[in-house]
């Protein structure tokens, strides 16, 4: 790996170990084994590096989740059954990536003070919504842009809300089957 990749790997580790706001440039340099000056050379700022590291981890999470899903879902499964199976996979990933989910919520609380982070999160949100629409809905990407936008935004809102609940009390987090049952209740 080159210095840039080493810095990204170090920043990912720092996000896990310390979170976004508590990570210093020195922490990243130490974790990556790269000089402090290399952060400015490759990324211009610590924040740009941390943002890129966070978004890269979230993209990897989505790709990993999408790759593992087909094995556990029967072809032609009903929408809510597919939703329940996907939701259970998402919950499994919460525990493994807990520090990064905490970091993401931490950043949401800081967007008023970090306009560049707000802009990056807003742009990433559009991509995330498209991925979530495909992941949960099973539709083809770009087939119906309005459906993708609406369902993706709903799935993202559900995911963010349930993530916050899970972080507070993982033992009471709803399973995929329970979320599907609740959706049936509110749409009946």
Give the DSSP per-residue string, the chain.
Answer: --HHHHHHHHHHHHHHHH-STT--HHHHHHHHT--HHHHHHHHSSHHHHHHHHHHHHHHHHHHHHHHHHHHHS-TT--HHHHHHHHHHHHHHHHHHTHHHHHHHHHHHTTTTT-HHHHHHHHHHHHHHHHHHHHHHH-PPTTSSHHHHHHHHHHHHHHHHHHHHHHHH-GGGPPPHHHHHHHHHHHH-
82 domain-assigned: yes
61 domain-assigned: yes
Taking the C-alpha atoms of residue 140 and residue 134, their distance in angstroms, rounded to an integer, is 6
83 domain-assigned: yes
146 domain-assigned: yes
Percent of the chain clearing pLDDT 90 (strictly above) = 32
In this prediction the pTM is 0.78
Q: What is the domain extent for residue 173?
A: 50-187
- pLDDT grade, residue 71 (50/70/90)? low
Residue 127, pLDDT above cutoff 80: yes
Between 40 and 114, residue with greater pLDDT: 40
10 domain-assigned: no
Taking the C-alpha atoms of residue 176 and residue 80, their distance in angstroms, rounded to an integer, is 9
Residue 85, pLDDT above cutoff 90: no
104 domain-assigned: yes
34-38, 117-121, 153-157, 158-162: least confident range: 117-121
Between 151 and 25, residue with greater pLDDT: 25
Percent of the chain clearing pLDDT 70 (strictly above) = 93
Tell me: the pLDDT tens digits for 136-164?
775 566 678 888 889 889 989 998 998 89
Q: Please state the rounded mean pLDDT for residues 73-78.
A: 74
Q: How many domains does the chain have?
A: 1
19 domain-assigned: no
142 domain-assigned: yes
- The pairs formed by 22-28 with CB atoms below 8 angstroms and a separation of 24 or more are 23/50
- pLDDT grade, residue 70 (50/70/90)? low
Q: Which phi and psi (to 5°) does residue 22 adopt?
A: -95, -5
**CB 146 within 8 Å of CB 155:** no
pLDDT of residue 72: 63
Largest distance between two CA atoms of the chain: 59
23: left (phi over 0), alpha (psi -120 to 50) or beta: beta
């Amino acid at each position: 790996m080159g210095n840039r990749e080493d810095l990204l790997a170090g920043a990912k580790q720092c996000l896990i170990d310390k979170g976004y706001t508590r990570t210093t440039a020195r922490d990243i340099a130490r974790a990556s084994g790269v000089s402090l000056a290399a952060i400015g050379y490759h990324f211009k700022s610590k924040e740009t590096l941390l943002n890129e590291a966070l978004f890269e981890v979230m993209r990897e999470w989505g790709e990993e989740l999408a790759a593992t899903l087909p094995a556990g879902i029967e072809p032609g499964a009903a929408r809510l059954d597919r939703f329940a199976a996907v939701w259970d996979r998402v919950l499994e990933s919460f525990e493994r990536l807990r520090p990064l989910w905490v970091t993401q919520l931490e950043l949401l609380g800081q967007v008023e003070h970090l306009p560049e982070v707000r802009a990056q999160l807003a742009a990433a949100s559009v991509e995330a919504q498209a991925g979530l629409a495909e992941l949960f809905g099973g539709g083809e990407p770009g087939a119906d842009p309005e459906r993708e936008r609406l369902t993706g935004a709903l799935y993202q809102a559900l995911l963010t809300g349930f993530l916050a609940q899970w972080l507070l009390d993982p033992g009471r987090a709803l399973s995929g089957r329970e979320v599907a049952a609740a959706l049936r209740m509110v749409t009946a």
